[in-house]
Structure 1
């Protein structure tokens, strides 16, 4: 099914599922074009939601691989007019830096969303977990981080 066929369906739930299906099957060279076209759907909330799911799936798969940076740069261009998607992509890049122990700034982590703080608190970077145990945004984040620190010290 192509994008114009998907758009003919008035039901946004059907379009959402069809977009997810198309995005899950897209070849790497066509991915950015498809993301850009999905983001032109008249139902912007649904379109951004479909792209967010795709972005999260791809970033989870790619973040530890060398191809992540080129992918993230291309995806940043496709999502530039969509602040939430652009922010999520930046947060995936910060998560990548923390997970791979590349340079990162504690203030960037503390300024990040609950989503990233919770994901990082459940991770393996002791420095990041310590930052979140002390100053994470929510009680849940601080507790998750403290629990992680306790598991690390028992190992």
Structure 2
């Protein structure tokens, strides 16, 4: 099924599922074009949700490896007119830096979304987890970080 066929279906739930299927199968050279076409759906919220799910799925599989940087640059250009999607890609870059122990700024993590703080709190970087156990934005983030530290035998004093 192509995007034009998907667009003919009036049910946004059916279109959402079809977009996810198409995005999950797209070849790398066609990914930017498909993301752009999905984002033309009249239901902009649903279209952005489908692309967000795709970006998360792809970033999660790519972030530890060398292909991530090129993919992220390409996808950032593809979603440049969609601030929430561009922000998610920036947060994936920060998550990657924290997880792989590349240079990162604590203030950036503390200013990041609940999504990124929670994902990082359940992660592997002890410095970031300790920081979030103390200063995470929500009780859930702080508790997740404390639990992660407890499981490592690194409970805060």
Provide the secondary structure at the position in 1 that maps to 2:152. Answer: helix
Instruction: Show structure 2 runs of 5+ residues with no match.
Output: none
Provide Cα deviations, 1:39-91, integer angstroms capped at 9, x if missing partner.
01111001000001100100000010100000000000111111111111111
| Matched positions, count | 154
Instruction: Show structure 1 runs of 5+ residues with no match.
Output: none
Provide Cα deviations, 1:93-115, integer angstroms capped at 9, x if missing partner.
10000010000000000000111
CA–CA distance in structure 2, aligned partners of residues 65 and 59 of structure 1? 10
CA–CA distance in structure 2, aligned partners of residues 107 and 151 of structure 1? 26
- The Cα shift of 1:153 comes to 2.5
2:28 is aligned to 28
2:38 is aligned to 38
* TM-score, structure 1 as length reference: 0.97
CA–CA distance in structure 1, aligned partners of residues 6 and 23 of structure 2? 13
CA–CA distance in structure 2, aligned partners of residues 142 and 13 of structure 1? 35
CA–CA distance in structure 1, aligned partners of residues 7 and 149 of structure 2? 48
Deviation above 4 Å: which 4+ runs of structure 1?
none
Provide Cα deviations, 1:1-40, integer angstroms capped at 9, x if missing partner.
1111111111111111111110000001111110011001
* TM-score, structure 2 as length reference: 0.96
